[in-house]
Amino acid sequence: MTNLLDRPPTFLDLPLPVAAPPLVRLVDVVRRYKMGSGPVTAVDGISLDIARGEFVALMGASGSGKSSLLNLLGGLDRPTSGEIWVADLNLAQAGKRALVEHRRRQVGFIFQSFNLLLHRSALENVELPMMLAGVAPAIRRARAAALLVEVGLAERSDHRPSELSGGEQQRVAIARALANESPLLLADEPTGNLDSATGASVMQLLRDLNRAGRTLVVVTHDPGVAAYADRTVHLRDGQILRIEQQTPGGREDGR
């Protein structure tokens, strides 16, 4: 009889691959607010994993909990109960200093209203997160210039927001979100103030950034925007109604 130790190895002897941990993990997350008429539950027991490099869209009617969920992921708010893990940090239990570092290092924010400083140039707006992070002036200026090249605004770097179109302002905001090389980008209705053609251009830029390795979570009410995502999470009354998984031939429902 052949000794198993003497035979050449086969693929059956190889260790099984270990799945990479998700960048984001939500476990039974609840967020309640105290209102004049009584408590309001904005997020109601949501559990969800988001893989590194994934593009997830959050969709739902006004009041469905999508923006509340985005604020929780960004460390702008805390859950009433449950766990929110981003990388190895549990945002539900993190101290104030850890949350500041989370917002500074781990997350880039993109807003519907752009939120640019009106008295600063495009370059200076992109520099701002690096300034707050203590990056040396020469380094942050060079990186800001490179990011404006990446988003197609090299020739507009010295222009202030009032001198830029809506699409250009959103591109500046995207460059700013990339400034500290945050692995997670959170976008709240990023095309809400843009016409359809400009919005499509911005979404293609976001999709290209996602394909380059960024994890992207986008809040939207627009199915056209959600179509860029790998998955669409539909929310209603603070709960996950259903999840659509993107496939080469379209979408198919999943839960």
Three-state DSSP string of 74-136: CCCCCCCEEEEEECCEECCCCCHHHHHHHHHHHEEEEECCCCCCCCCCHHHHHHHHHHHCCCC
Q: Residue 254 above 50 pLDDT?
A: no
CB 206 within 8 A of CB 228: yes
The token pair that represents 67 in the structure block: 């923006």
* pLDDT (tens digit per residue) in 45-89: 999 999 999 999 999 998 899 999 999 999 999 999 999 999 989
Q: Which two tokens stand for residue 240?
A: 């996950």
Other Cβ atoms closer than 10 A to 2: 6
Map out the domains of the chain with their CATH numbers: 52-71+97-254 (3.40.50.300)
pLDDT on residue 29: 97
- Residue-wise pLDDT for 78-102, tens only, equals 999 999 999 989 999 999 999 999 9
SS3 22: coil
Question: Whole-model pTM?
Answer: 0.86
Amino acid at 50: I
pLDDT in tens, 197-244: 999 999 999 999 999 999 999 999 999 999 999 999 999 999 999 999
**249 falls in which pLDDT band (50, 70, 90)?**
very low
Neighbours of 165 (CB within 10 A): 12
What type of residue is 125? N
